[in-house]
A and B are shown apart, each in its own frame.
Chain A
Amino acid sequence: MILSANTTAQATDQIFVSVEHWLVSHVPSAIQPLVADIISVVALLAVFASLFAVTTVLERKGLGRIQNRYGPNRVGPFGFLQPLADGIKSLTKEDIVPLAADRTVHFLAPIVLVLAAFTMYAVLPVGHNMVLANLDAGLLFFFAASSVMEMCIFMAGWSSRNKYSLLGAMRAIAQMISYEVPLILASITAVMAAGSLSTATIVEKQSGFTGILPHWFILTPWGFAGFVLFMIAATAESNRSPFDLPEGESEIISGYFTEYSGFKFALFFLGEYIGMFAMSGLGITLFLGGWGAPLSFLTWVPSYIWFFAKLLFLIAMFIWIRGTLPRLRMDQLMNFAWKFMLPLALINLITAGLWRFIPNDALRWIICCLMVVIPYVLLGRGMAKGWKLEKRTYRFAE
């Protein structure tokens, strides 16, 4: 009885894998790998593009509620067909290319952006055995693809020949390169603990249980610090509030995509959200146990459901943060990356190493917690030193 329940759970867990195997078995064996990849890619595109559609509604409704209003509630039941209306609108809009723009680069930027964003999903395990390409250097591949997104943003800003676009692009480059450092340093801790760059292996290393608690890296002091650092850097990488300076609507009119209209604009939007999901997905993979169940008695729930539940949770956190924090200033942003997050990430590397080599369990908890908390408090105090609020004096505008 228990055995049969177990096999049913396993069958539901592997249902998509089995369906793909069944579909692939109908074609000649020479092209089987190709067909398998195409099926996986189409599935990934469909799932994450529809997740984007759902997220736009959820975000607008959530932000609305945070600001004590309804948000979209006109199109379809509870406004959930709003993305359809938005899609039709952006498809029917005129595609305007500035006369002075570099037409080729201007055209390529949004397309390459979306391509790069989707490329990141190749190494993201969205379920048990559900990773498109289990590369040995999967994490490296992921960050390589994500840095292509930065290049696309600069392509967009540069080719538009618009001061706002260029300003936005410069800001984006400065910000994304700065935050890539703590992002990668924070994720290295997980690599150190798992001993592998392969995302599937990192998830497998976190799949055990002690009692009912899982072996997720976030449940260790260095893992918690690493996760928080990672998510802050991921917010900056995906250009989201409070790090949305590159597209600050109120100052530089949506920055690098000022000169984009119609569906290209929608593509930028799509690329940005897809990038955000991918970053969240990597955060889940590295620190939140990937597709693993959060408690040992919940392992019967299919793995992909856990992955998407965690993803939706992180998206909700992103929306919550966006509804709470105002935009930073450029110098604050840079100070935060180089003077606060980078030292913390470096110290966190040492913490992760100590965690591995201190044999006594209680001792390593105490030492590692102190190594996370003390630098945080001290660095925070150092950051706050320059933040005295005083009356601003203007030299020219009075």
Chain B
Amino acid sequence: MLGTGIAKGLVETARNFFGSYVSRDRLTTVEYPEERAPQIEASRNFPFLVYDGDDWAAGLRCVACQICEKECPPKCIFIEKSKDKKLDAVGKPQFYPTVFNIDVSVCMSCQICVEVCPFEAIKMDTDFELSTDNRFSGLLWDRHRLAKPNTYYHEIHPTEAAEVDARLAEEKAKADAKAKAAEAKPVPAAAGATPSTGHGASSVE
């Protein structure tokens, strides 16, 4: 008969209406600024630069090889290589980026920079609250703003960070052994995982 479907629909909406007051399962809304959904480990949003130790400038893993700059599809990375070399955390002289800028408004979060980095220096962040009131300097992030410690990396992507640390430690041990064999002089080991030359460590996955 005409109207039975409408009656069924009305019953269903009434059930939703009253059900949302009694059943928490129906009301799935997470009221964002006060409540937050638990973070998903695999989530990624925007790249950051990993540094080891406490000093961001000294501990930066990046050696300004500019592979990410070349690979970046929307060309949002800008790197200037240093003229001089400085000792990295291991004590090995390396170039370092005097300028490392990423334009947040251009980045498309594709993670290709992370895939191509041979030094495990650039990783994906999960921070999504990037709004700013300045559309020029607020969106162009320099290396200081991009630098975040390895402990933070462990915090947001624990599994991935553990894998990366294990790989770096293995490479470092290999390099140490090689150096020992060549010069019979040990390199002073730094605390935690430190990058050495890192040949072949091309991707995280």
Residues of A within 8 A of B (CB): 62, 65-70, 320-321, 323-325, 376-377, 379-381, 383-384
Residues of B within 8 A of A320 (CB): 10, 13-14, 17
Q: Are B31 and A70 in contact (CB under 8 A)?
A: yes
5 contacts between A and B (CB under 8 A): A320-B10, A320-B13, A321-B10, A325-B6, A383-B2
Query: Which of A67, A380, A383, A384 is within 8 Å of B16, CB to CB?
Result: A67
B14-42 to A contact mask, C-beta < 8 Å, 1/0: 10110111000011110100000000000
Distance from B205 Cβ to chain A, minimum over Cβ atoms (Å): 38
User: Please, which residue of chain B has its CB at the minimum distance from the CB of A322?
Assistant: B13
Residues of B within 8 A of A377 (CB): 1-2
Given A62-B17, A384-B2; 17 other pairs, CB 8 A cutoff: A65-B16, A65-B17, A65-B20, A65-B21, A66-B17, A68-B20, A68-B28, A70-B27, A70-B29, A70-B31, A321-B10, A324-B6, A324-B9, A324-B12, A324-B13, A380-B1, A381-B2
Distance from B6 Cβ to chain A, minimum over Cβ atoms (Å): 7
**Please, how many angstroms separate the alpha-carbon atoms of A320 and B12 in the complex?**
11
Q: Does B200 contact A (CB under 8 A)?
A: no
Residues of A within 8 A of B1 (CB): 377, 380-381
**Please, how many angstroms separate the alpha-carbon atoms of A151 and B65 in the complex?**
71
Residues of A within 8 A of B29 (CB): 69-70
Q: Given A320-B10, A323-B13 in contact, is the A68-B3 Cβ separation under 8 Å?
A: no
Interface residues on B, range: 10 to 19
Q: Are A69 and B27 in contact (CB under 8 A)?
A: yes
Distance from B90 Cβ to chain A, minimum over Cβ atoms (Å): 53
Q: Are B27 and A380 in contact (CB under 8 A)?
A: no
Distance from B5 Cβ to chain A, minimum over Cβ atoms (Å): 10
Query: Which of A324, A376, A384 is within 8 Å of B10, CB to CB?
Result: A324
Residues of A within 8 A of B10 (CB): 320-321, 324
Distance from B35 Cβ to chain A, minimum over Cβ atoms (Å): 12
Distance from A188 Cβ to chain B, minimum over Cβ atoms (Å): 24
**Please, how many angstroms separate the alpha-carbon atoms of A221 and B82 in the complex?**
92
Query: Which of B3, B14, B28 is within 8 Å of A380, CB to CB?
Result: B3
**Please, how many angstroms separate the alpha-carbon atoms of A65 and B15 in the complex?**
10
Residues of A within 8 A of B12 (CB): 324
Residues of B within 8 A of A380 (CB): 1-3
Distance from A59 Cβ to chain B, minimum over Cβ atoms (Å): 13
Residues of A within 8 A of B20 (CB): 65, 68-69
Residues of B within 8 A of A66 (CB): 13, 16-17
Residues of B within 8 A of A67 (CB): 16
User: Please, which residue of chain B has its CB at the minimum distance from the CB of A340?
Assistant: B2
**Please, how many angstroms separate the alpha-carbon atoms of A324 and B16 in the complex?**
11
**Please, how many angstroms separate the alpha-carbon atoms of A62 and B27 in the complex?**
13
User: Please, which residue of chain B has its CB at the minimum distance from the CB of A321?
Assistant: B10
Q: Are A68 and B2 in contact (CB under 8 A)?
A: no
Residues of B within 8 A of A69 (CB): 20, 27, 29
Distance from B89 Cβ to chain A, minimum over Cβ atoms (Å): 48
Q: Are B16 and A68 in contact (CB under 8 A)?
A: yes
User: Please, which residue of chain A has its CB at the minimum distance from the CB of B14?
Assistant: A320
**Please, how many angstroms separate the alpha-carbon atoms of A136 and B28 in the complex?**
55
User: Please, which residue of chain A has its CB at the minimum distance from the CB of B12?
Assistant: A324
Interface centre among B10, B12, B19 (most CB of A within 10 A): B10
**Please, how many angstroms separate the alpha-carbon atoms of A383 and B13 in the complex?**
25
User: Please, which residue of chain B has its CB at the minimum distance from the CB of A326?
Assistant: B9
**Please, how many angstroms separate the alpha-carbon atoms of A24 and B16 in the complex?**
51
User: Please, which residue of chain B has its CB at the minimum distance from the CB of A228?
Assistant: B3
Residues of A within 8 A of B28 (CB): 68
Distance from B8 Cβ to chain A, minimum over Cβ atoms (Å): 10
Residues of B within 8 A of A325 (CB): 6, 9
Q: Are B2 and A376 in contact (CB under 8 A)?
A: yes
Residues of B within 8 A of A324 (CB): 6, 9-10, 12-13
Interface centre among A66, A70, A383, A384 (most CB of B within 10 A): A66
Residues of B within 8 A of A379 (CB): 2
Residues of B within 8 A of A62 (CB): 17
Interface centre among A69, A324, A377 (most CB of B within 10 A): A324
Distance from B176 Cβ to chain A, minimum over Cβ atoms (Å): 58
**Please, how many angstroms separate the alpha-carbon atoms of A324 and B7 in the complex?**
10
**Please, how many angstroms separate the alpha-carbon atoms of A380 and B2 in the complex?**
5
Question: Nearest 3 A-B pairs (CB), nearest first?
Answer: A380-B2, A324-B13, A324-B9
User: Please, which residue of chain A has its CB at the minimum distance from the CB of B19?
Assistant: A68
